[in-house]
Structure 1
Amino acid sequence: MSLMKKSLQRKNLNGLWMGLASFALIVILLLPTPENLPEAGQRALAILAFAVILWVTEAVSYSVSAFMIVGLIAILLGLAPGTEDPSAPLGTKEALKLALSGFSSPAVALVAAALFLAAAMQVTHFHKRLALLVLSKVGSKTNHIVIGAILVSIMLAFFVPSATARAGAVVPILLGMVAAFGLSKESRLAALLVITSVQAVSIWNVGIKTAAAQNMIALDFMDQAFGKNVSWGEWFLYAGPWAIIMSILLYFIMIRAIRPETNEITGGHELVEKQLRELGPLKAEEKRLILISLALLFFWSTEKVLHPFDNSTVTLVAVALLLTPKIGVFNWKTAEKEIPWGTIIVFAVGISLGSVLLKTEGATWLSDQVFGKLGLESMPLLSVIALLTLFNILIHLGFASATSLASALIPIVIALVSTLNVPVNEPGFVLIQQFVISFGFLLPVSAPQNMLAYGTGAFSVKDFLKSGIPITIAAFLLIMLFSMTYWKWIGLL
């Protein structure tokens, strides 16, 4: 009965949030249009307010919200005066093109292809084998297993372009090791290992361009605004050292924040070896997947250096090989069951909404209102980075999806950077804020991989905060240190 009551309460709340989103949309539409904002820009901001309330409250699923956003852009912008010719409405056909423009982005092609690659890893269990191999080498001491959990997350980030898939591979293995010692999944040891693994996943979402979908959104907006394409190797040069230092700090923070019941898991090593034996020798499809993955990593990392092919093209070719009979590892029927198609739709519509905000000048106006009042444009660059990073971290508390946060925030950051009165590499400034969007260290709801781990019951929100607060502080300070030193030295700022 209590479950039914909770379900009814949730439905009632969803209806309330849906009503609030609609109310915000209507109010913004009815307000007088500011002098320096086109009417289309005001309508784009109304749609943004509607979308943000839905994303933050999850009143409807992200996929459903994507369809609503497309419909609103098509109708509201279609009936608004055109930005180029204000004497005539844009027309719903042209507005619909804007609403669907994200689907033609190479970034969407890369994310879709990356999801196929992640599905291939899951179907063959190769990601599990890789995780077990690493954990089999670290021994049975608790602090060594913490190091192993971090190393697994690092290695998988290079090959599995899905944070949720990476967490899904590692968390069950770690819980199995805890169970082998005779402890429950509610133990301190379980909390330590599971939280460590997902925090490491978030860190390496920053470190590697292809590790997280939200990175592609920022790069697409940067390409539109600045004509700047950041290669896989350039991204790693910028963010890799930050992620390596954060991984070391993560180890020391975790072993102090959550102290386990034991310093050694007796039988843990044997359990890992047993699971490896159960997987059996490398299968033919795993060997083919390894070859394709290594080739893909080579082409990703040498983009603009040894060849002219962009990441999206290379990844799509790899997917074609993965689906080719006798060469690949799975068929379309298997793949389509594993792919979260809604993610691709949400991602594309997020790009469309951000593009609309930029094209209608809605992002510029909002940037002036939010940051102009603070006088950021006349502050020293490091002060701007510090304040914007803190704002980014705080606003992330309301977003369960970094993809949605990137769609809403990066266009505003792009608009802001053009107003700064200090010399700055504009794409680099925006890229640093994209790094911050991937943080997700504070709460279980801050990232899908956190929620996956939280769903195991291995830790409480309080446990997560115990580690999340010092990790966030360390990440913020490291952003500032890199902004003062390394990123200036290599020309990112």
Structure 2
Amino acid sequence: MSSLGHQAALPVRTDKQSSQHGLDAALKRIGVPIALLAAVAIWLAPTPDGLSVAGHKALALFGGIFALYLTEAIPLAVTSLLIVPAAALSGITSVRGALEGFSSSSAYLIVGAFILATAMVKTRLAERITYLILSAIGSAPRRITLGVCLVNIVLAFLVPSSTARTAILLPECLSILALYGATGRSTFAVNLLLTLTMTNATIGAGILTATVPNPVTVEFVAKASGHTISYAEWLLYGFPPALLMTFATWALIQKVFPVDVDPAQADIDGTIRTNLAGLGRMSAAEWRTFLVFSLVTLLWATQTFTQFDTTVVCLAGVVLLFLPGFGVITWEDANKGVSWQVLLVAGGGISLGDILLKTGAAAWLANAIFHGLGLGGASTLVVIVVVMFIVQYLHVVFVGTTAMATALLPIILGMAGTAQIDAVALALPAGMIIGGYPLLMFYNTLPSIIVHGTGRLRVSDFPKVGIVICALACLVYALCAATYWRWLGLY
């Protein structure tokens, strides 16, 4: 990547960021007391009718952990580790039961996917794909933003982290802005950076390995129903609406923040060609990485016929990347590339969800919410739509989608049981909304925090697009539930 891109990528602290930092610090100071108060208050309250003692204890644990997740008073990974001793010492489950989430199939799928991404980045295959798409799409400002959108779509199949995809593309975006002379805030800068982070998120809803909440959803559904959603199945249900919403998001951004610079096509085209030429011909390492990834993707796509497990295929492909004479990365590379925090958050969250499901706490809480919303007797479609809308706007109170998925999905699965709806039919769209549409505020997801940190965006820029996109997403996915998903036999 160009040195200009790396220099430009350094975050600049703004007044709004300072205010947000102050709010975050305040939340962290009160987070532990709030968590303790919530847990103790639930623990000391009388056990509700229809809830077991173990379920009551699980609700107390959930209340405390939920508060810690929201306030981030202690690191999210540490909060997830806390679930193990808290559950075991309170007698809710055994140590083995509390650790089950950390040994789940989804946790190892996340590890494998991160290692695949590390190989893509180290060999510069991901960077080459970026420049190939940008050079093909053209260098007029609107075409550049469309190119970034298209790169996000392609990288979503290759790189399993929205944060990693942002890190790959942000230097290039900032270099382009510098070449256009857009050194400060401009509508072109806002347009390009919102396109980067928002289309990155929306396309992730349609690909199982594109963002962590997706495999977390698969894990919870498997525990609740015994049905493991395959890579191809997720793609079949999720990719069409995600692709539609990705282009709709790009189009809305063009409308709300129209490009305000004159195209300097020769300069931009020349820079893209120079950067692409600088990569030279595809190296043997790039070809081997491409071969491994293509093989893994092919096996994922043909699971219906091969019956190979998604995680097994991923880990087998990862092993090939380390083979002497063939491999392209070392363990040191992989160790740096895997987000162990994400792994621990997902593992702890899955354990907590499993506890809520097994003790009956999730079902009891879901039943209370279900009847509180007056959904008794409602059709499957109405329940799916209501749950999607609730989940969508709960993004406002969450920082990060992994913690949100692990906190909410057990309750949603409990609602599926209460409403006598197939678990897949309710949890799958909810998981897609959680993973793909954290667009209301800049703090909802790390990629948005990163682009906001460039100093080119205001806090208010995000809801100007996000409010409309989130509402539209609910409508599109509701339409899918009423037609496309029903035709496919989802429910």
The reply to whether residue 429 of structure 1 matches residue 426 of structure 2 is: yes
Which residue of structure 2 aligns with residue 486 of structure 1? 484
Distance in 2 separating the partners of 1:8 and 1:251: 32
Which residue of structure 2 aligns with residue 186 of structure 1? 185
Q: Deviations over 1:214-236 (max 9, x none)?
A: 11111111111111111111111
Query: Higher mean Cα deviation, 3-12 or 461-470?
Result: 3-12
Query: Higher mean Cα deviation, 372-381 or 391-400?
Result: 372-381
Which residue of structure 2 aligns with residue 259 of structure 1? 258
Which residue of structure 2 aligns with residue 72 of structure 1? 86
Q: Deviations over 1:349-390 (max 9, x none)?
A: 111000000000110111122222222131233322222111
Distance in 2 separating the partners of 1:208 and 1:5: 35
1:129 to 1:4, Cα distance in 2 relative to 1, 3 A:
closer
- How far residue 258 of structure 1 moved from its aligned partner, in angstroms, is 0.8
Calculate the TM-score normalised by the size of structure 1: 0.92
The reply to whether residue 33 of structure 1 matches residue 47 of structure 2 is: yes
What is the aligned-residue RMSD (CA, Å)?
2.0
Distance in 1 separating the partners of 2:414 and 2:57: 18
Check the 8 A contact 1:324/1:331 in 2, yes or no.
no
1:415 to 1:270, Cα distance in 2 relative to 1, 3 A:
same
The reply to whether residue 237 of structure 1 matches residue 251 of structure 2 is: no
Q: What letter corresponds to residue 428 of structure 2 in structure 1?
A: L
Give 4+ residue runs of structure 1 displaced > 4 Å after superposition: 2-13
Stretches of structure 2 lacking an aligned partner (at least 5 in a row) = 1-14
The reply to whether residue 44 of structure 1 matches residue 58 of structure 2 is: yes
Q: What letter corresponds to residue 457 of structure 2 in structure 1?
A: F
Q: What letter corresponds to residue 490 of structure 1 in structure 2?
A: L
Distance in 2 separating the partners of 1:230 and 1:339: 24
Residues 200-219 of structure 1 mapped to structure 2, 5 A cutoff: 200-219=199-218
Which residue of structure 1 aligns with residue 5 of structure 2? none
Q: Paired residues, what number?
A: 474
Distance in 2 separating the partners of 1:275 and 1:441: 31
The reply to whether residue 140 of structure 1 matches residue 154 of structure 2 is: no
Q: Deviations over 1:139-158 (max 9, x none)?
A: 11122112111110000111
Distance in 1 separating the partners of 2:224 and 2:427: 11
Which residue of structure 2 aligns with residue 275 of structure 1? 275
- How far residue 70 of structure 1 moved from its aligned partner, in angstroms, is 1.7
Distance in 2 separating the partners of 1:217 and 1:9: 29
- How far residue 126 of structure 1 moved from its aligned partner, in angstroms, is 1.8
Calculate the TM-score normalised by the size of structure 2: 0.92
Q: What letter corresponds to residue 323 of structure 2 in structure 1?
A: T
Residues 46-61 of structure 1 mapped to structure 2, 5 A cutoff: 46-61=60-75
Distance in 1 separating the partners of 2:377 and 2:308: 40
Check the 8 A contact 1:143/1:263 in 2, yes or no.
no
Residues 204-353 of structure 1 mapped to structure 2, 5 A cutoff: 204-262=203-261, 264-266=263-265, 267-305=267-305, 307-353=306-352
Q: What letter corresponds to residue 434 of structure 1 in structure 2?
A: G
Secondary structure, aligned partner of 1:418: helix
Which residue of structure 2 aligns with residue 420 of structure 1? 419
Q: Deviations over 1:117-152 (max 9, x none)?
A: 122222222212111110111111122112111110
Which residue of structure 1 aligns with residue 7 of structure 2? none
1:366 to 1:4, Cα distance in 2 relative to 1, 3 A:
closer
- How far residue 27 of structure 1 moved from its aligned partner, in angstroms, is 1.0
1:4 to 1:228, Cα distance in 2 relative to 1, 3 A:
closer
Q: What letter corresponds to residue 25 of structure 1 in structure 2?
A: A
1:205 to 1:72, Cα distance in 2 relative to 1, 3 A:
same
- How far residue 469 of structure 1 moved from its aligned partner, in angstroms, is 1.5
The reply to whether residue 62 of structure 1 matches residue 76 of structure 2 is: yes
Check the 8 A contact 1:444/1:450 in 2, yes or no.
yes
Distance in 2 separating the partners of 1:165 and 1:361: 37
Identity, in percent, stands at: 32
Distance in 2 separating the partners of 1:434 and 1:377: 23
Distance in 1 separating the partners of 2:363 and 2:71: 26
- How far residue 450 of structure 1 moved from its aligned partner, in angstroms, is 1.6
Q: What letter corresponds to residue 453 of structure 1 in structure 2?
A: V
- How far residue 195 of structure 1 moved from its aligned partner, in angstroms, is 0.7
Stretches of structure 1 lacking an aligned partner (at least 5 in a row) = 81-93
Distance in 2 separating the partners of 1:271 and 1:470: 35
Q: What letter corresponds to residue 424 of structure 2 in structure 1?
A: P
- How far residue 185 of structure 1 moved from its aligned partner, in angstroms, is 4.5
Distance in 2 separating the partners of 1:5 and 1:481: 40
Distance in 1 separating the partners of 2:35 and 2:27: 12
Q: Deviations over 1:171-222 (max 9, x none)?
A: 2211111111111142221110111121111111111111111111111111
- How far residue 248 of structure 1 moved from its aligned partner, in angstroms, is 2.5
